[in-house]
């Protein structure tokens, strides 16, 4: 059984991951509407990954004999001013999620909850990858620009992302 503080915070992380999924799906719909299907594809895959992260946490909570809770989710508050702005938001959001994961690890350490600490290490590693991916896309967008052949090349590149 999880410590009540840990249970509460893990359930909060489920909400964070579900919000992430909705945010990226909302961004994907924006790109689908403007005809950048590669960008839409990349973000749909990202949305699915975030939902899977939430499910991974709910499974862990249940395995520990505690109750996973799926609460109400806030509406995504993204701005679609430019591709650069969108991926700045993606990077910023991933940095926020990394901070949340680190706080969970800190709590597990303080509670001497070794099982949860070990479980969370996967997420620590995953967040390094998530931030790296978002940062790379943002850098490529700065090079490619907002219009023209560079953007079309980026769209094709993002379309090649395989679902995990």
Residue 154 dihedral angles phi and psi, to the nearest 5°: -60, -40
The pLDDT value recorded for residue 78 is 75
| 73, 22 contact by CB (below 8 A) | yes
Task: Give the model confidence (pLDDT) of 63-111 as tens digits.
Answer: 999 999 988 889 998 788 899 999 999 999 999 999 999 999 999 999 9
Q: What is the pLDDT of residue 155?
A: 93
Q: Pick the closest to residue 90 from 164, 27, 156 (CA basis).
A: 27
Query: Quick one: pLDDT band at residue 153, thresholds 50, 70, 90?
Result: very high
Q: What is the CATH topology of the domain spanning 4-73+80-159?
A: Ferritin (1.20.1260)
pLDDT per residue as tens digits for the range 15-44: 999 999 999 999 999 999 999 999 999 999
Which one of 56-65, 70-79, 136-145 scores highest in mean pLDDT? 56-65
Helix axes 149-159 and 114-144, enclosed angle (nearest 10): 150
CB 23 within 8 A of CB 67: no
Given pLDDT bands bounded at 50, 70 and 90, which one contains residue 162?
A: confident
């Amino acid at each position: 059984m999880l410590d009540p503080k840990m249970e509460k915070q893990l359930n909060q992380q489920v909400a964070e991951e579900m919000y992430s999924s909705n945010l990226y799906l909302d961004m994907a719909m924006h790109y689908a509407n403007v005809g950048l299907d590669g960008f839409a594809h990349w973000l749909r895959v990202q949305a699915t990954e975030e939902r899977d992260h939430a499910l991974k946490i709910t499974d862990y909570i249940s395995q520990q004999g505690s109750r996973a809770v799926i609460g109400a989710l806030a509406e995504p508050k993204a701005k679609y001013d430019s591709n650069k702005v969108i991926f700045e938001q993606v990077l910023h959001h991933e940095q926020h999620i990394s901070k949340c994961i680190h706080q969970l690890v800190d709590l597990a350490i303080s509670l001497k909850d070794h099982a949860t600490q070990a479980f969370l290490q996967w997420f620590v590693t995953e967040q390094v990858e998530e931030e790296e991916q978002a940062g790379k896309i943002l850098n490529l967008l700065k090079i490619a620009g907002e219009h023209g052949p560079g953007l079309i090349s980026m769209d094709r590149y993002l379309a090649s992302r395989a679902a995990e």
